[in-house]
């Protein structure tokens, strides 16, 4: 039977419980899932690539068919290299839709072999994103409900006086 590899690209600055909800669903649906950090020189992430990889690896170690990687350039080229047939994106609310719709149409023009699949998280994560978590941590707010313990520690280290 054909094995399906899915890639899940994002900034993951840092990984949140919302991302992990999506990864858990993808891990149950596909043979292999590659969570991959998009390196974009126009974006200035708070955490380095190595920190983000470390946080992802630590948060995802119980998922045996999930690996962590990074890429630069076009996602369709990366997908080809990894022989991935599916691109996962998370949809939280209608506000995500327009941008995601546009990206998926562009990607489908660039590659007919890659299909974008949207997954919705549990509703308790629909308001959650990495920038809210960063802001909360910078104000010394509790992030326990939003990120795994390892990520919480890294956030606390960043914002200790």
- Closest to ligand ADP by CB, 5 vs 104, is 104
44 is catalytic: no
Contact residues for 18 (Cβ-Cβ < 8 A; gap 6+)? 90, 92, 121, 125, 126, 128, 129, 146
80 is catalytic: no
Binding status of residue 146 toward ligand ADP by CB under 6 A: no
Min dist. Cβ of residue 10 to ligand ADP (A): 3
Phi, psi of 138 (to 5 degrees): -65, -25
Per-residue binding string, ligand ADP, 1-20, x by CB under 6 A, is: ---------xxx---x-xx-
Per-residue binding string, ligand ADP, 89-128, x by CB under 6 A, is: xx-x---x------------------------x---x--x
67 is catalytic: no
* H/E segment holding residue 8: strand 5-10
Q: What gap in Å lies between CA 87 and CA 5, rounded to an integer?
A: 9
Binding status of residue 54 toward ligand ADP by CB under 6 A: no
Contact residues for 72 (Cβ-Cβ < 8 A; gap 6+)? 38, 39
Binding status of residue 55 toward ligand ADP by CB under 6 A: no
* H/E segment holding residue 5: strand 5-10
Interacting span for ligand ADP (CB under 6 A) from 69-77, 85-93, 109-117, 150-158? 85-93
Residue where the block lists tokens 């409900």: 145
Can the peptide bond before residue 113 be classed as cis, meaning omega within 30 degrees of 0?
A: no
Min dist. Cβ of residue 15 to ligand ADP (A): 8
Q: Residues with catalytic annotation?
A: 19, 43, 92, 130
């Amino acid at each position: 039977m054909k094995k399906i590899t899915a890639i899940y690209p994002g900034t993951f600055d840092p990984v949140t419980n919302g991302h992990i909800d999506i990864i858990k669903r993808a891990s149950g649906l596909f043979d292999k899932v590659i969570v991959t950090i998009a390196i974009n020189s126009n974006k200035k992430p708070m955490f380095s690539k190595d920190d983000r990889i470390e946080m992802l690896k630590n948060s995802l170690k119980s998922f045996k068919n999930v690996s962590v990687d990074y890429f630069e350039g076009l996602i369709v080229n990366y997908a080809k290299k990894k022989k991935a047939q599916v691109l996962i994106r998370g949809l939280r609310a209608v506000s995500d839709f327009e941008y995601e719709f546009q990206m998926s149409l562009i990607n489908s023009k660039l590659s007919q072999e890659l299909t974008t699949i949207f997954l919705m998280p549990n509703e308790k994560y629909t308001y959650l994103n990495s920038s809210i978590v960063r802001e909360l941590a910078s104000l010394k707010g509790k992030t326990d409900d939003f990120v795994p313990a390892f990520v919480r520690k890294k956030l606390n280290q960043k914002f200790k006086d």
